[in-house]
A = this chain, B = another copy of it.
Amino acid sequence: MLFFENDYSEGAHPRVLQSLLETNLTPQPGYGEDGFTAAAREKIRAACQCPQADVYFIAGGTQANMTVIRAYLHPTEGVVAADTGHIACHEAGAVESTGHKVLTVPGHEGKMDAGDLENLLKAFYADPNHAHMVWPGMAYISHPTEYGTLYTAEELTGLSQVCAAYKIPLYVDGARLGYGLMSRGTDVTLPVLSAVCDCFTVGGTKVGALCGEALVFPKGAPRRFFTQVKQGGALLAKGRLLGAQFDALFTEDLYFEISRHADAMAEKMKRGIAALGYPLYLDSPTNQQFLVLTEGQLQRIGRRVRFSYWERLNETSSVVRFAVSWATTEEQVDALLQVLKEEKEAE
């Protein structure tokens, strides 16, 4: 069985594991006050060219999202997201469980349009009844999006300007950030992100770590963020587990290297799929590829490859996702394309 189900099927990159091994018996203070966390923080600040950034580490993505969002919002406020945003769909109401509404604008292949955001804000303040409504208090986007698509630096700047005009923070969920940063043709870099948003995450779980997201606050973290992390159950006693991993990921550009590899594998896979005549659902420049399969294809290919079912497209076809990661080898991609080719030949 081939695994293209997701980008968290394996453990950690060997150099990340090595870091855990080497640091294992060095005693350190708990709760993120260890030396490995301090080192990782400095390396991330350097990579962002943002020496004054606050950097925190949290084990999981939903946890990172709900902690950051709750920390920014006033009780009267909600967070604006694309209707396909992870927080709006697949986090089991985590944001709402902290008392805040997720306000939505239509997603465009997963992306939020700055004009849509501005219209929502403008309409809110123009509504004479707005004091009876949830105040839009921050904007949430993901980069890459849930559909693998990417914002341009200009689009991010556009969103950032709308947020600035309405004095609300912009938060970028970078659960798969590496795959976005290393995508061919993107002009979004860590310094760009540091310039345009109030907080972004650098996802580790899907990019080489066992677990962990780095939270970067270029202008400083919200008030008493440490206690908020603790209160949300998101503070690991052994913060070193996250620190040592991110220390490795940001040593000798490991994070970028493995992301570039995954993007190359994705591109090879995409080209191969297209060449075989399978229709792509959309044009993703990152590690997730969405294609359209008929019911029969879905069944037969499913016997040899694990992939993710995404959604029904119409009576006869569905959208599925094939994901690669830092761990995917060229051989695995070749094997997948061979399966897809045999399916085509058999039809």
Which residues of A come within 8 Å of B, CB atoms? 3, 5-6, 8-12, 14, 17, 20-21, 23-31, 59-67, 70-71, 74-76, 78, 89-94, 96-102, 128-129, 131-135, 205-206, 210-211, 223-224, 226-228, 230-238, 240-241, 244, 309, 327
Contact = CB atoms under 8 A, between A and B. Distances in A.
User: How many copies, total?
Assistant: 4
Given A20-B210, A132-B230, A224-B135, A238 B92 contact: no
B94 A97 contact: no
B30 A10 contact: no
A134 B96 contact: yes
B21 A75 contact: no
Indicate the member of A11, A14, A71, A133 with the most B CB atoms within 10 Å.
Answer: A11
B94 A236 contact: no
**What are the nearest 5 A-B pairs in CB distance?**
A63-B233, A11-B24, A3-B27, A9-B27, A93-B134
Contacts of A237: 6, 8, 60-61, 205-206, 211
A206 B42 CA distance: 28
Contacts of A129: 90
Contacts of A24: 10-12, 14, 17
A175 to B, nearest CB: 9
A95 B231 CA distance: 8
Contacts of A99: 93, 96-99
Contact of A28 (B9, B94, B230, B236): B9
A20 B17 contact: yes
Contact of A241 (B11, B64, B90): B11
Contacts of A134: 92-93, 96
A33 to B, nearest CB: 11
A306 to B, nearest CB: 8
A26 B10 CA distance: 6
Contacts of A14: 24
A75 B67 contact: no
A169 to B, nearest CB: 16
Contacts of A67: 233
